[in-house]
């Protein structure tokens, strides 16, 4: 799988394209060399034949046909290996002189050139060989053939062709190997950047991309990304510090204002004034709840993974939270169903988990109409433990599911209901501390009340055969010292 993924990388594809261009260039170069070399050797053979023809023509002009036959016989006698080929015949192909006994078969070109095979049909003794010759008609109806044995030349061409084929194969293999090695080196550098980016996206903002000190393109990219991350963290910390400072500085005067309004409420006798003072106290309580939620989220984001992690029975913890909220569900005549696996264990901070569970159950009750259905479940799913709250309420549109975890964000349908838009932000912060992810989906898509299912998936903590007291305060299966199985996943 790793090899296949590397073959799909853009660097390998670029190296493959370079290999094709390089191989094509080499092929064209070798083809040109072959064409020039083979053409030169063929032209040299033809020039040799032409020179012999010129000599024979001169003898013919000076001594006639008898002199031509005589000189051919002399040349054949001087060439026992028959490198030069001669044949003089009558009009009906009867041999008069030469080292061939019969006229060869082959296709003759318009200029008189012919390529044929030297074998027993032309009186050749020995293994078949290739030959090239030129044919003339001599005065008096005689036929003249002058040629050369070109078998060695043809064998040399085959050697050159074989060398070119092997050269192309070796070139392609080396280019492919070089492309693979270059791609592997580049992919390693890119994978380092990807791994660091994943850690940063999972909340480890202190991570930075390592450099090699070579000042190459990747080092320059890493340095620029690191400077960008430093700037982003600086701006985020500035914004967080400002919001936290505002929340902290305003909480004290708001508390004093709220207490003064409450004292006023108890002191006045006028019914209308008491009603106005009561509304003011309620508004002050809402403001204080908002500021407290902001400070709580800020503390969670600051403490990160330093929370007090202990083995917790998530099923028992959710059961305790359900006992507190069942009365609210009964007031709205809602059907409150529980399916809790008390053996489902995680490692976490019980107080933070209780806040997360309470927020989700409270939201389900708040946004589900009277006589609606609410289901709370805890179950194991492979290496994970899942806490899920489902309702038959107004739900969340698909286009807004990515935004509901932002601070102060409220879905349009829920703006008329009390709240400050910080509940799911706190849930997200707690889930991130526990290496969990949140999954939102509609229960009944397409209906007026599609409902909502909120599932928090966290790594499970594996029990052993021993018994211990867990954070919920009840006896449960003990947990091993291993901090748990499963991989951390980021919130969508």
pLDDT digits (tens, 9 = 90+) for 291-305: 666 666 666 665 554
How long, in residues, is the chain? 492
Q: 């359900």: which residue's tokens?
A: 322
Report pLDDT for 490. 31
The answer on pLDDT for 96 being more than 70 is yes
Report pLDDT for 386. 92
Mean pLDDT of 275-292: 76
* In the chain, % of residues over pLDDT 90: 5
Mean pLDDT score of the chain: 78
Mean pLDDT of 59-81: 82
The answer on pLDDT for 113 being more than 60 is yes
What pTM does this model have? 0.45
pLDDT tens, 217-237? 888 888 999 999 889 888 877
Q: Which is more confidently placed, 459 or 281?
A: 459
User: Cα–Cα distance between 219 and 206 in angstroms, integer?
Assistant: 19
Report pLDDT for 457. 92
At 376, is the pLDDT very low, low, confident or very high (cuts 50, 70, 90)?
Answer: very high
Report pLDDT for 200. 82
- According to the per-residue pLDDT averaged within each range, which of 23-32, 233-242, 264-273, 324-333 is highest? 324-333
Report pLDDT for 467. 37
Report pLDDT for 476. 38
Lowest mean pLDDT among 62-71, 247-256, 316-325: 247-256
At 447, is the pLDDT very low, low, confident or very high (cuts 50, 70, 90)?
Answer: low
Lowest mean pLDDT among 51-55, 351-355, 404-408: 404-408
HSE of 261, CA atoms in CB hemisphere, 13 A: 18
């Amino acid at each position: 799988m790793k090899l296949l993924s590397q073959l799909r990388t853009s660097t390998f594809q670029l190296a493959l394209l370079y290999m094709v261009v390089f191989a094509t260039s080499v092929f064209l170069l070798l083809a040109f060399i072959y064409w020039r070399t083979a053409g030169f050797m063929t032209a040299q053979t033809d020039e040799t034949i032409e020179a012999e023809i010129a000599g024979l023509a001169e003898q013919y002009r000076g001594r006639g046909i008898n002199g031509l036959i005589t000189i051919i016989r002399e040349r054949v006698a001087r060439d026992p290996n028959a490198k030069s080929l001669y044949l003089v015949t009558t009009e009906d192909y009867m041999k008069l002189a030469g080292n061939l006994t019969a006229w060869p078969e082959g296709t003759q070109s318009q200029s008189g050139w012919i390529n044929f095979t030297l074998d027993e049909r032309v009186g050749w003794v020995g293994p078949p060989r290739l030959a090239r010759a030129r044919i003339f008609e001599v005065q008096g109806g005689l036929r003249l053939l002058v040629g050369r044995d070109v078998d060695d030349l043809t064998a040399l061409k085959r050697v050159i062709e074989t060398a070119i084929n092997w050269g192309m194969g070796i070139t392609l293999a080396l280019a492919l190997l070089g492309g693979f090695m270059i791609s592997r080196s580049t992919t390693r550098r890119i994978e380092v950047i990807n791994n660091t980016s994943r850690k940063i996206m999972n909340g480890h903002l202190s991570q930075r991309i390592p450099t090699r000190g070579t000042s190459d393109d990747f080092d320059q990219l890493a340095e620029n990304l690191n400077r960008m991350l430093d700037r982003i963290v600086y701006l985020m910390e500035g914004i967080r510090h400002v919001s936290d400072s505002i929340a902290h500085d305003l909480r004290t005067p708001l508390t004093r204002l709220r207490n003064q309004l409450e004292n006023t409420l108890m002191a006045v006798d006028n019914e209308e004034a008491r009603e106005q003072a009561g509304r003011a106290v309620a508004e002050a309580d809402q403001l204080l709840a908002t500021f407290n939620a902001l400070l709580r989220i800020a503390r969670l984001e600051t403490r990160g993974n330093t929370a007090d992690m202990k083995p917790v029975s998530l099923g028992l913890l959710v059961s305790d939270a359900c006992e507190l909220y069942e009365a609210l569900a009964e007031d709205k005549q809602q059907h409150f169903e529980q399916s809790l696996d008390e053996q489902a264990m995680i490692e976490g901070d019980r107080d933070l988990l209780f806040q997360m569970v309470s927020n989700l159950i409270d939201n389900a009750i708040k946004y589900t109409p009277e006589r609606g259905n609410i289901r709370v479940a805890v179950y194991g799913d492979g290496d994970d433990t899942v806490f899920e709250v489902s309702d038959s309420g107004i739900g969340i549109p698909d286009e807004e599911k990515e935004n509901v975890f932002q601070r102060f964000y409220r879905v349009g349908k829920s703006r008329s209901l009390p709240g400050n838009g910080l509940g799911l932000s706190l849930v997200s912060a707690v889930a991130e501390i526990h290496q969990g992810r949140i999954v939102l989906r509609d229960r009944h898509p397409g209906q007026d009340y599609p409902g909502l299912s909120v599932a928090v998936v966290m790594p499970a903590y594996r029990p052993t055969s021993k018994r211990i007291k867990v954070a919920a305060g009840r006896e449960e299966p003990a947990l091993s010292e291993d901090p748990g199985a499963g991989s951390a996943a980021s919130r969508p």
